[in-house]
Amino acid sequence: MKQDQEKDKVGDTNNINDQQQQQDGDSIPRKGKSKSGKWRPSANPLVKRLVLSVDPPNWSTVFARPEQPVFIDVGCAKGEVLLQSSVANPGINHLGIDIRESLIDTAQRSHKILEIEAKCKVDNVHFMSANANVNLFNIAKSLPAGSIQKVSILFPDPWYKKKHAKRRVVNATFVNEIAMVTPVGAKVYIISDVQELYEDMANHFLSNSAFAKMENTMDAWDIPVSHKQSFYIEIGMPSWRSVLVRV
């Protein structure tokens, strides 16, 4: 009961048997597994080689209709969410950003395979490797004014240790940058399997007067299920999520 109240306070979970799943929460592995079976450490976004400025692309060369509304997925990994959404929503441009070049290579390959399978161009999706904390603002500012409709931050690396918290992608500066580049009505989707990280992200957004929490998360969550999200649903673990709206 106490746990149910706690969850209501912080956001929606995806699960049915929450109490058991909540109890088991700490026993599951927290990092992705590579093909060799080794745990892959998260990329430290503060190391010199990753604190690089990246020029925004020429949008008219990467999108067939550059004037369209935009959905940005921060930490898009292999791009599953955006590839699925781009086919379902040709009237929206999709931009995936990830700090790991190898993941962006995979997303780009999947994009090509999708085009081969669909026998047509999927010309409303683009993936780029960049540190979002360094580059999101400039990249977003270079898009047509007022075009950013959705920003998702799905299962960002948790960086559990207190001394590593500054490596988390969502911080006050990042939220402020998103506020500056989004029009009123834009939606921000946040989700984590780590309750403390979810609360940290939600608090950063809600401490900024440019954002308010949407009441019914289930209805407001109108984007595809991410790779991590489907993993947690499959193994029956909870995740915490909210949709914030730019006010």
Catalytic (active-site) positions: 157
DSSP string, 141-190: HTSPTT-EEEEEEES-----SGGGGGGSS--HHHHHHHHHHS-TT-EEEE
Question: Which residues neighbour 98 within 8 Å (Cβ) at sequence distance 6 or greater?
Answer: 75, 76, 77, 104, 107, 127, 129, 130
User: What is the footprint of ligand SAM within residues 29-58 (CB under 6 A)?
Assistant: 43, 45
DSSP 215: S
When the beta carbons of 100 and 213 are compared against ligand SAM, the nearer one is 100
Task: Out of 226, 237, 238, 243, name the contact with ligand SAM by CB under 6 A.
Answer: 226
Interface characters, 82-111, with ligand SAM (x: CB under 6 A): ---------------xxxx--x--------
What does the buried/exposed string (b/e) look like for 194-209 if buried means 16 or more CB atoms within 10 Å of the residue's CB?
Answer: bbebbebbbebbeebe
Among 154, 181, 197, 245, binds ligand SAM (CB under 6 A): 154
Of 20-28, 70-78, 181-189, 233-241, the window that binds ligand SAM (rule: CB under 6 A) is 70-78
Token pair belonging to 96: 């995936």
Output 211 or 232, the one with its CB closest to ligand SAM.
232
Residue with smaller CB distance to ligand SAM, 74 or 143? 74
Which has the closest alpha carbon to 214: 188, 178, 195? 188
Size of the site for ligand SAM (CB under 6 A): 22
Structure tokens at 45: 């976004």
What gap in Å lies between CA 35 and CA 32, rounded to an integer? Answer: 10
Interacting residue with ligand SAM among 95, 132, 143, 178 (CB under 6 A): 132
Least distance between ligand SAM and beta carbon 109 (Å): 15
Segment interacting with ligand SAM (CB under 6 A) among 8-16, 20-28, 61-69, 154-162: 154-162
Per-residue CA distances from 50 to 62, 83, 102 (Å):
24, 25, 13
Taking the complex as a whole, how short is the minimal distance between the CB of residue 37 and ligand SAM, in angstroms? 18
Exposed, middle or buried by CB within 10 Å (0-12, 13-18, 19+), for 103? buried
**Residue nearest ligand SAM by beta-carbon distance:** 75
Task: Report the distance separating Cα 84 and Cα 225, nearest Å.
Answer: 9
Q: How far is the CB of 150 from ligand SAM (least distance, A)?
A: 14
Part of the chain binding ligand SAM (CB under 6 A), chosen from 18-26, 142-150, 153-161, 177-185: 153-161
Alpha-carbon span 195 to 7, nearest angstrom: 9
User: Which stretches of the chain bind ligand SAM, using CB under 6 A?
Assistant: 43, 45, 74-75, 77, 97-100, 103, 131-133, 154-157, 169, 226-229
